[in-house]
Chains A and B, each alone.
Chain A
Amino acid sequence: MSQNTVVFRIKRQENPAARPHWEEFAVPYREKLNVIVCLNEIRRHPVTRDGRKTTPVAWECACLEEVCGSCAMIINGKARPACSALIDELKQPITLEPMAKFPVVRDLVVDRSRMFDALKKVRAWVQLDGTWHLGPAPRWNERERFRAYDFSRCMTCGVCLEVCPQINARSSFVGAAAIGQVRLFNSHPLGGLQATERLDALMDKGGIAECGNAQNCVEACPKDISLVDAIGEVNRQMARHTLKKILAG
């Protein structure tokens, strides 16, 4: 591999119905490149390594600092945000593929709407009377707050679903991200007022029972969110909730 270029193998797919194929590109090397800078270079000059003109590669990005969740893709076999994938730390040729657990829109762009649907399903919000002047939320312990904050950094990037063996085109499992949000809202002094509704939602098909405890999510999460702890905590809440329901007959 020559020092002055960076070689990419990119899985291309024109549209959802098209057959995927691979193309190779060589981008001039400089220090401190990341995958996004290289994709920009390919957009500027969309010519394959063997000199064939092609279309620019489609991909998503926005913040370029791992807070928006847009640019997750599979890089050298690992699902991760592309903005923080530094070229100097990657083995070449660098392969880029779209995440496989979501429908491909084009090239590296996938449709992650199932994640937003899951947030609706589990009612991942505090139910407010309104946004008008109703004073502050109750006081809250900073230690608890700091633990909960961990889960509110989830950027819905999709990596935890991508690595989860329970997620596939046929399963309706909501995935670790949504369960993390249930953990978050159930612990909040106001959000907790609707805890049982969220637990009921997670009892349905696609709910927490479908977690197979592979624990890949926590390994893969780019924000190191304690997803397995969240699943454990919600499972315990679920057990208490179920028991109460039975006792209440």
Chain B
Amino acid sequence: MNTEAKYIVVGGGLAGLMAAIRIAEAGGKVDVFSLVPVKRSHSVCAQGGINAVLDVKGQADTIWEHFDDTVYGGDFLAHQPPVKSMVEEAPHIINMYDRMGVMFSRTPEGILDQRYFGGVKKRRTAFAGATTGQQLMYALDEQTRPHEVSGAVTKYEGWQFLGLVRDGNGRARGIAALDLKTGEVRTFRGDAVLLATGGFGMVYGRSTTSTICNGGAASAIYQQGALLANMEFIQIHPTAMPGEDKNRLMSESARGEGGRIWVPRKPGDTRDPRQIPEAERFYFLEERYPAYGNLVPRDIAAREISKVCVEEGLGIGGENVVYLDLTHMDADYLTRRLGGILEIYQKFAGADPRQVPMKIFPSVHYSMGGIWVDYNQMTSIPGCFAAGECDYQYHGANRLGANSLLSATYSGSVAGRTMREWVAGQSDRAADAAASFFESEQRRHEQINATLLAETGEETPTDLHRELGEWMTRHASVVRLNKGLDELIGHLDEMLERFRTRLGLTDKGRWLNQQLAYARDVGNMLQTARAVARAARNRDESRGSHYKPEFPERNDEKYLFTTKIAYDAAKDEPVLDYSEAIDVQHIAPRKRDYSVNKKA
């Protein structure tokens, strides 16, 4: 056991690269795997900003308040100790990014500027125009490059993670991955493996996320025995441009900077919005939630917008859209602060949001739930860690805006430390593990690929994926009814059966066979969806993003517990467990009410 330890990081978004950099700067060797060149990871999509208490606005902001806002915003479902550590580290994370050269917007004094975000009464969000995620992603991409030059980091870009290699004791010893270009399955040895593979918006077909956010890697380790947690908590973002291929986000920062949401008071009013006088506009968030107004947390804003359109029939021109209005603000100011999103709106909708109100509607956006991890980011599989959007740790039942660039970075940096500590405590190395463990995992995946390639049925991965998205969006998004969820569960079982027996691939080759990789993702997405649906069905209460009109109240007695989800391989189904009580040692749970100011 003189061999040097080797680390595997799957995922090159903020969480993955942060971990890789931490390991490399401590002298470790890391293999980084990513579907796409890491610089193109989904983190580039993040727009509005990243939270940390810098208190640069004379508002006496405190780290405790960031902590309380996050816990309260998450409706008390997050374990509190890791959240507390995260918000304490946040200012240092901003400083680190600042030194990396992130182009954070600045004040006249030359210090970092901060803006308002949802569910918060202090200016706590640092930002780089409206492309904050892209700027942070590039910083970590740049910082990884010298480690690549020095040989500490080796990148495998264009590879799809397929599964963990475990030894006879169930400990992770490495991974199997598919070289998307050549179609070859290979295994890699690693003393600790991190999954930092992001969210699974694609399970809903259309979302605000990138097309690569399908959660396939998390699903794969779930099917290998790793626990998932809180999968029923899906964040629906209130303000996206509905689109054929994707719902493009119009960041919460638009409201943080003063944007207002409204509909005409008269149903079906077809007048040009600029001709509608103030008195005839219904600023429903401001009227219903006077304390937070347009900046209520996302679960509330999304529900209200849906309600105004679907139940009250007030959507613009009778359609499911409402106005997000910036036109009362100075055009130059808007360009400086929000240029990135204004450009997206203009390119894709053909209208200038500085001149006309934007038309928006809620969209699936983020997954609070994910792979279960302990406070060291280790999954239930020894030696396998998870960080970033794919873990379940920091946001409880609802994430506050601008807290996930923070949690991705923070959890990645924690994993970068705990993985090394874990490896230091082991008496042998992955290099010593028997070759048979690797060979059998490799054979398993070669077999799956061969079977998929041989399929000649009439179902295409594309059609199955579309159908999945429609069903999930209908039954497991803003409003959840047990009857609908029952139907969904039955339908998903049926779809899985069709996937297994009636799939057909038209591309039979090995070389860059995107259809094969996609088919594997669709199979994994179906299993993720089943976990979401089952977890949603079982939780008979309303908490954060999980809203059941049949059970409109939060029920702490019964549900102040993590939903832990195991995959029963023999029965091929999710099994739920509620034995893990939420650690509320710092802040006693209290009722969430955003119509009045929150008291810390």
Contact = CB atoms under 8 A, between A and B. Distances in A.
Given A32-B244, A61-B211, 6 more contacts: A56-B514, A86-B348, A109-B512, A119-B142, A142-B105, A145-B105
Interface stretch (A63-71, A93-101, A202-210): A63-71
B99 A190 contact: yes
A96 to B, nearest CB: 16
A137 B112 CA distance: 10
A62 B146 contact: no
Contacts of A67: 44-45, 131, 134, 340
B453 to A, nearest CB: 12
A153 interface: yes
Contacts of B128: 149, 152
Interface in B94-120: 94-96, 98-101, 103-112
Interface string A133-155: 11111011110011011001101
A190 B101 contact: yes
Nearest to A109: B512
Contact of A125 (B18, B112, B131, B143): B143
Contacts of A4: none
Interface stretch (A34-42, A165-173, A236-244): A34-42
Interface residues of B, number: 68
B563 interface: no
A160 interface: no
A145 B462 CA distance: 44
B100 A135 contact: no
A120 interface: yes
Q: Which of A64, A123, A141 has the most CB of B within 10 A?
A: A64
B211 A140 contact: no
Interface stretch (B4-12, B34-42, B58-66, B281-289): B34-42
A149 B138 CA distance: 12
A64 B248 contact: yes
Interchain residue pairs A-B with the least CB separation, the first 5: A139-B110, A125-B142, A44-B462, A149-B103, A106-B512
A32 to B, nearest CB: 6
B511 A14 contact: yes
Contacts of A68: 36, 40-42, 44-45, 210
B142 A139 contact: no
Q: Which of A63, A130, A142 has the most CB of B within 10 A?
A: A63
A201 interface: no
B174 to A, nearest CB: 25
B482 interface: no
Contacts of B129: 149
Contacts of A196: none
A191 B103 CA distance: 12
Interface string A191-234: 10000000000000000000000000000000000000000000
B374 interface: no
B42 A62 contact: yes
A126 interface: yes
A81 B248 CA distance: 16
Contact of B44 (A63, A83, A109): A63
